[in-house]
Amino acid sequence: MRDEASKLAFLGGGLAGVIIAVLLWWAMPGGAPKQLPNKLAREEIVSMSTTAQAQLADDEKARMRELLQQRPETSGDDFDRQVWVADLVNVIANRTPDPGEVSRIAGLVHRYATRFGLSPELVLAVMAVESNFDRFAVSKAGARGLMQIMPFWKQDIGSTDDNLFDIETNIRYGCAILKFYLDRHGKMADALAAYNGSLGNTKYPLKVFDRMRHFKASAGDLRS
């Protein structure tokens, strides 16, 4: 009996040692993965992810700078743009109290989306999801304006003097960035996820596509 009691005591002591060792390993830096603090804002995670996903090569930066510097032609698209703006202006009029600003936003979305080979309704949908048409919106991560452009893009592809709260500047950047991601990934769903800093996740693209269908229907254009 004494031998059996000694064996049990030995086993119990060994098990306790293993438990203590595991707990110490868990607490050490580099041990078991820890849960992210609840106070770490989603926008901060998106910001880090977006920065990592951008990583432009020198030739890509040069190409994007070239695109940003080129202003779209205005003569050829005036009629189509005016018709499109007239159709959409009432749809987004309740998002901002300034009717002139609504028309300006819609007109510039059409002009730059067309310039970059994007669907105007898609760009409008990104804007709706990102800022709800608030030109002065600022996220916790520091993204600015209608299309929520991160300031690092100014240094990468534009000028540090660019004002991301300016309507035309913001739309121009947003369309160029979307075009860049579309060229890089080949699929609009992936391009949208990369734009949002959530590549591999379908939640954001689906939300944008849903808004895009709404704007297409409002504009009387149900083509894909």
Is the pLDDT at 173 greater than 60? The verdict is yes
- pLDDT classification of 103: cutoffs 50, 70, 90: confident
* Interval 12-33: pLDDT, tens: 555 455 454 444 444 444 444 4
In a domain, 17, yes or no: yes
- Please compute the mean of the pLDDT values over residues 119-124 and round it to a whole number: 93
Q: Are residues 14 and 49 in the same domain?
A: no
What pLDDT does 24 receive? 45
In a domain, 223, yes or no: no
In the chain, the percentage of residues whose pLDDT exceeds 90 is: 39
Among the listed residues 60, 73, 130, 168, the single catalytic one is 130
Is the pLDDT at 221 greater than 70? The verdict is no
Q: Are residues 22 and 71 in the same domain?
A: no
What pLDDT does 129 receive? 95
Please give the structure tokens belonging to residue 125: 């949908």
What's the domain count of the chain? 2
Q: Are residues 108 and 173 in the same domain?
A: yes
Q: Are 135 and 101 in contact (CB under 8 A)?
A: yes
- Is residue 73 annotated as a catalytic residue, yes or no? no
The Cα 144–Cα 130 span in angstroms is 10
- Please compute the mean of the pLDDT values over residues 76-83 and round it to a whole number: 70
The Cα 137–Cα 169 span in angstroms is 14
